[in-house]
Structure 1
Amino acid sequence: MRSWRSAVVVIVSVVAATLTTFGTAVGRAEPVGQGDTPGPVCAWQIMSNRDDLNVAFPDVNATYWVLPYALGPGDSISLSGRYPHARYFSLNTYGTDFNTVDTLRDNQIRPAGNDVNPFVDPAAAAGGSWQATVVNRAPNRSRNEIRGLPAAGAQRVPVGFLIVRVYVPDDPSSLSGGVELPTVVMHLGGAQVTLRPCAVPFNPRNYSGPIAAALTSVFDRAIAGAAANSFPAGSPEATFVNPNSTAGLFPNGDNKYIGAGLTYRKGRVVVIRGKAPTYPNTRAGASPAKPGVGLRYWSMCQNDKVTPYPVVACAADFQTRLDSDGYYTYVVAAPADLSRSSDPTATVIGWGDTNVPTKVVFLRNMLPSSGFYPSSVQAAQSKGGDPAVSMGAYYPRATYCDVVVLRSQGWRACYR
C-alpha cells in the first residue's frame, strides 16, 4: 500500500514527535497557532540537549538534531554538509523501536571533491564539505551511504529517524560546531524535495494542543519502558555495572556506558574515584584525530531516573580535575551538602532535585583506541564480565560518604 506517501504520517521521534506530510505542505511555510504542530517546512525539526528537550539521558556537552522520515523501495535522502569544528560528530539512523539501524561517524565520511576530512588527518582544518545518502537497503560505505530502515520485515511501517550528533564544539556558543546543519534532499516516489535546516526547532512540550500532548505521551511511555529496564534488577547502589541494554534509548553506536543507581540522603554525598583515560583536548587546540589517545571522548553524567529521563549535570574529560597520578575524584552532591573538601583535585557534579527518588550516574566511553580497548567499557561489555575486573584502574569506584567525614578527613576516609 502506497497511500502513506501523500498522507499524514505520525512519527514518534528521539525526543518527541512531529507530524510529517509528504505532499503540497512540504516546502511552504504555514502559520502555527496555539496547540498546533508545525509541518515539515524544514529539516532537523527537533533538537535535543540539556537546555532544549532534555530527554533520554543526553550528554551535557552534546546536541542532537532529529529528522523523521518514511522511505519506500528505491527512496533515499541526500545530505550535504561541512565537517564541524568539534570533538566528534556522526549520523545515526533508528527504527520505530528507537534502536540503532546504522551509524556513519565523522572519520568514516569521505570528503567531497578535493576537501580533506579533519577527523582523519590531524593537519586538516575543519569546514571541508561532505555528502552522504540515507538508503533503504544495504549501504555502500565507499559512497557515504547509511542504512535508513531495518531489514525487511523487522518493523511494520517504513518509518525511521536520522540523528546528527555533535560533541564538544570548539566554540561552546555554536552547538553545530561553527557550520550549518546539513541540507536535506528527499527523493520520495520519484519526487524531489529540498529542505533547509529549521531556523527554530520544534519542541512539542511547548505546545498545549491534543496532538502534541498525545505524541509526547507516546514518546514518554516508550522511553520510560526502555529506561526502567536499562539496569539489572537488584544491582547494589553506588556500584557501576553493565546495563541490561540501552535499546530503545536512541543509543549511539560509538558509545558504551556503565552506570550506578543512587538515592539521596541529607548529609550524604557520593564519591567516585578512577584513573582518567587520555583524550584529544580539542577545546585546547588538539585535533580530534590526534593519535595515541585512549578515548575520543569520555564523561561522567548524573541523570534523573524518572520520565522524561533528563541529564542533570556532567563532567566531561576536559572539565575534570586530576591529581598528580592521573586520577579523578568526583563528588556528587546537592548544594546543601556541597563538600568544601581541601582536595583541590575534586570535581563536583550536581545532584539536582533531591525529591527525585532514583538517580543514575553514567560513565560514557567513546571510540577507544586499540591500545586502550582492553581497559574500556566496550571491552567490559563485549566480554560480559565484571567491569571492575576488566577495566582495572579505569573502573570508577563509587561509595556513599558522610559529608562531615569528607570535609574533615578527605576522600580516602570514605573508602574505609
Structure 2
Amino acid sequence: MTPVASAEITRVGQQSGLTDCFWLATVSPKTFNMLIPDSAVTYWLAQYKLPAGAKLSLHGQFPFARHMSFNSYNADGMPVDRLNDVMIQAQGNVANPYQAGALRQGPRQDYVVDVMAASDQQLRNADAERSGNTLFSQSASGVHQLWYRVYVADQGKDNKGGVALPVPVMTLADGQQLSGQDLCRQTVVPEGVLRDLRLPAETVKQIYAIPGASSPAHPAQNPPHWNAFFNPALSVTNALIGTPYENLRSKQDETRRGGFYSTLDNTYMSAYIDQRLGQVLVIQAKAPATPHTYHNTVVMQAAQLRYWSLCKYRSLADTAVDSCLYDEQVPVDKDGYYTIAVSTAGNRPSNANEACGVAWLDWGSAGDGIGNSAGGFLAYRHMMPSPEFYAHSLFATKNPGDEESVLAEYFPRSRYMSRADFEKTACKK
C-alpha cells in the first residue's frame, strides 16, 4: 500500500480542475488510473480528522447522473458504510430524483449528509441503526477516509453531473463550526489520501508461471472462467485455476466482504483473458434492464439493476483500466440479448459496430501491464439489484462455481474466435 505523493495529487488536481481543498484527489482514467476503476465513474477522495463529539455535514445537490453515493473506509481500504442516492432524503420534502418514477430534470434538489463516528454495534446493522441522512465512519487512528462517486453524468454535464462538489461543514462538540479553508487547514489530512494498492509485479508473474498449468495462456482459460468476487484473498487464487494447485481454492475463506475501496452497492465477477487464445473474444447474454439516463431522460425508470458494466483491466500488479462499456452503450436485439466483441483496434471485426447490433470493447495495447501484451482480465459489475431481480444478480452468488446457475440467461457466455470467423457471422454495415 504505497501513498501517492501529495505534490503529485496537487498537480493532477490542478490540471484536471476537478478537486478542491477537501476533495483532494480523483480516481479516473484521465487522472489517477489505479485501483481498478470503472471509466464511466469519477471517484473523489477526502481524508480528515473527526474530533471526539464532532459531526461532519456535507451540503450538496443531487447530480444529473445515473448514480451517486458516499462511502467510508477503514485504514486498510475496506468499506465501512455507504449512503447511496436513494437513501438520501432531499431537503424541503421534495422528491429524490433517483427514486423510480421521479423527475430527473429541472432545478436540483438540495441535501445534507451527516458523517458520524460509529460504534461497532451501529456498524453491525448500519441500515437499521442510522437515522436520517447519516453515513457511519470508523477509524482507530482518528483519521477518516471518504469517497464520493458519480456514475454516468448526463450528456452535456461535466464529471460532477452539472452541480458543485458537496461542501463540508464540521460542527465541533462545543458547537463551533468550521468551513471553507478553516476546515481544510484544521481537519484535512492530505498525506496518504490516495494509496496505490497492488501486488508486486514479480509476485504476480510467479503466480502466472506455476508449473503444470493446463492452458497455454495461463492464467487465461479457454473458454474464459468467470469467478464471482467474494474477498480479496480468494480473488488472488483465481490464478490457480487450471493448475495442480487449484484444489487449494476450496480451502480458502469464501465469506463475501468488500475489496480495496469497493462500494457496498456493487459486486463483481472477473475472468482472465488472453489474445493468444483468439483474436476476438465474443461475449453474449441477456442484458439486465437498467434506467437509461445519459440522454437527459426526464423520468427515472424502474429497472432490474441500477447499472452494469464490462471493463478490461491489466492485472493485480497494474490496476489501471483500459476500456469499459456500460449498459447504455451495449445494443440489444429484440429479445434483449447482446453481443460484445473484445479485441485490439487492429483486430476489430468490420461488423463489430452498433449498426450490426454488436458492441466493441477495446482490448488496448497494454495487455496485463507486466510483460504480456496479450493478457489482462475482464470484470463484470452489477449495481443495486431490484428485489425482483436479486436472485439472478451477482449478489445472489453464494459459493465459487455457482455464477452460471445464478445468473442463468444473464450469464456472459464467452468464446474466442478469429477476426475472419467473426466477420462471417454477417452484417458489415
Report SS of the residue matched to 1:331.
strand
1:401 — aligned with what? Answer: 417
Q: Does 1:367 align with 2:356?
A: no
Aligned counterparts, 1:225-264, within 5 A:
236=221, 238-246=224-232, 247-264=258-275
1:219 — aligned with what? Answer: 195
Q: Does 1:332 align with 2:342?
A: yes
Deviation per residue, 1:212-262 (Å, 9 max, x gap): 9xx69x933x3337x97xx99968452211124254421111111111111
Return the letter of the residue paired with 2:265. Answer: D
* Aligned partners of 1:280 and 1:288 also within 8 Å: no
Q: Which 10-residue stretch deviates more, 171-180 or 351-360? A: 351-360
Structure 2 CA distance for aligned equivalents of residues 41 and 192 of structure 1: 19
Give every structure 1 segment of 4 or more consecutive aligned residues whose post-TM-superposition deviation is greater than 6 Å: 231-235
Q: Does 1:165 align with 2:149?
A: yes
Report deviation, 1:308: 4.1
* Aligned partners of 2:150 and 2:161 also within 8 Å: yes
Q: CA RMSD in A?
A: 3.5
Return the letter of the residue paired with 2:382. Answer: N
2:131 — aligned with what? Answer: 142
Q: Does 1:387 align with 2:363?
A: no
Return the letter of the residue paired with 1:379. Answer: A
Report SS of the residue matched to 1:309.
strand
Structure 2 CA distance for aligned equivalents of residues 279 and 266 of structure 1: 32
Aligned counterparts, 1:342-353, within 5 A:
344-353=356-365
Q: Which 10-residue stretch deviates more, 297-306 or 140-149? A: 140-149
1:178 — aligned with what? Answer: 162
Distance 1:161 1:172, change over 3 A: farther
* Aligned partners of 1:122 and 1:290 also within 8 Å: yes
Deviation per residue, 1:312-359 (Å, 9 max, x gap): 111111100112221111111011211123781111100112553241
Structure 2 CA distance for aligned equivalents of residues 180 and 269 of structure 1: 42
Distance 1:117 1:257, change over 3 A: same
Report SS of the residue matched to 1:368.
coil
Q: Which 10-residue stretch deviates more, 336-345 or 385-394? A: 336-345
Distance 1:192 1:377, change over 3 A: same
Unaligned runs of 5+ residues in structure 1 are 1-10, 20-30, 33-39, 197-210, 412-416
2:238 — aligned with what? Answer: none
* Aligned partners of 2:57 and 2:169 also within 8 Å: yes
Distance 1:12 1:130, change over 3 A: farther
1:193 — aligned with what? Answer: 178
Structure 2 CA distance for aligned equivalents of residues 264 and 306 of structure 1: 18
Distance 1:355 1:142, change over 3 A: closer
Report SS of the residue matched to 2:384.
strand
Unaligned runs of 5+ residues in structure 2 are 12-18, 182-189, 211-218, 233-257
Q: Which 10-residue stretch deviates more, 162-171 or 232-241? A: 232-241
* Aligned partners of 2:292 and 2:301 also within 8 Å: no
Could you tell me the TM-score, scaled by structure 1's length?
A: 0.76
Q: Which 10-residue stretch deviates more, 250-259 or 350-359? A: 350-359
Report deviation, 1:142: 2.8
Structure 2 CA distance for aligned equivalents of residues 17 and 261 of structure 1: 31
Report deviation, 1:110: 1.2
User: Which of 69, 73, 80 is the aligned partner of 1:101?
Assistant: 80
Structure 1 CA distance for aligned equivalents of residues 231 and 341 of structure 2: 27
Report SS of the residue matched to 1:252.
coil
Report SS of the residue matched to 2:383.
strand
Return the letter of the residue paired with 1:353. Answer: S
Structure 1 CA distance for aligned equivalents of residues 410 and 39 of structure 2: 22
Identity %: 29
Count of residues in correspondence between the two structures = 356
Return the letter of the residue paired with 1:241. Answer: N
* Aligned partners of 1:267 and 1:337 also within 8 Å: no
* Aligned partners of 2:293 and 2:300 also within 8 Å: no
Report SS of the residue matched to 1:52.
coil
User: Which of 29, 40, 51 is the aligned partner of 1:50?
Assistant: 29
* Aligned partners of 1:92 and 1:104 also within 8 Å: yes
* Aligned partners of 1:17 and 1:219 also within 8 Å: no
Report SS of the residue matched to 2:396.
helix
Distance 1:115 1:224, change over 3 A: farther
Could you tell me the TM-score, scaled by structure 2's length?
A: 0.74
User: Which of 270, 273, 288 is the aligned partner of 2:284?
Assistant: 273
Structure 2 CA distance for aligned equivalents of residues 299 and 17 of structure 1: 31
Report deviation, 1:76: 2.4
